[in-house]
Structure 1
Amino acid sequence: MPRPCTLLVLEDEPLIMMDLQFSGEDQDCTMLCAASCGEALQLIDKADTIDAAILDVSLGAGKTCLPVARKLENLSIPYILHSGDLDRHDETIRTLDAKLVAKPFPAEKVIAAAIACAVNDDC
């Protein structure tokens, strides 16, 4: 049986983050949750391992997940994009080579997609 996954979640909406966190814990994942790029980058630097990440594209005030996505890419950590408004972002975000899981989507299915990304390299 594979070991439980450690998943990073970058999400600025508290209810969505909580839903993802609880769904991940229900699937025996260790959840590292951040509401901003700064928090996510700190978690990445401190974590022993991160198997995959779920990144909200739009983080409010014109900020995006791009710095975190680039850091994850540099560390060869797979991630999925979880967004309801990808069409409103600049072309830089569109260059990210990641699976998009559009909002709204059930949290357990988002977690399942992240686990598949980590375990089967299905991103």
Structure 2
Amino acid sequence: PFANEDSVTFLAYRQDDAVGHITLSKNWNGYTLIDEIAVSADARRQGIAGALLDCAKQWARQQETSGMMLETQNNNLAACRCYQHYGFILGGIDRLLYRAEPEIADHEIALFWYLPFNSEIGY
């Protein structure tokens, strides 16, 4: 991993080739923010995203954060399914986040996903 006090990046390898990464940081709200997660197209649906999320969860717990969170878009269905399968819950939507970007504003809605570590949330 590449890390400083408040952020870290983990890489996933298949043999000698990097096929994925996840970048995390401590967020102002006490959650670990997944700033970016990516898996190479030819390495998808092989458990790599789940393994990266496992690393993220371990780091987040070591940092004593309240859980993990991330933002994706409504038109990234594969990512939404991945996060839901992993246990994330949809915490909110933002129809105006991309308003300043006319080429995407009409068809992208920001979705905010959360994985709280406290099971007493009640959702």
TM-score interval (norm. to shorter): 0.3 to 0.5
Which structure dedicates a bigger proportion of its chain to strand?
2
Q: Which structure's CA Rg is the greater one? A: 2
TM-score (norm 1): 0.35
Q: Which has the higher contact order (CA 8 A, sep 6+)?
A: 1
Which structure dedicates a bigger proportion of its chain to helix?
1
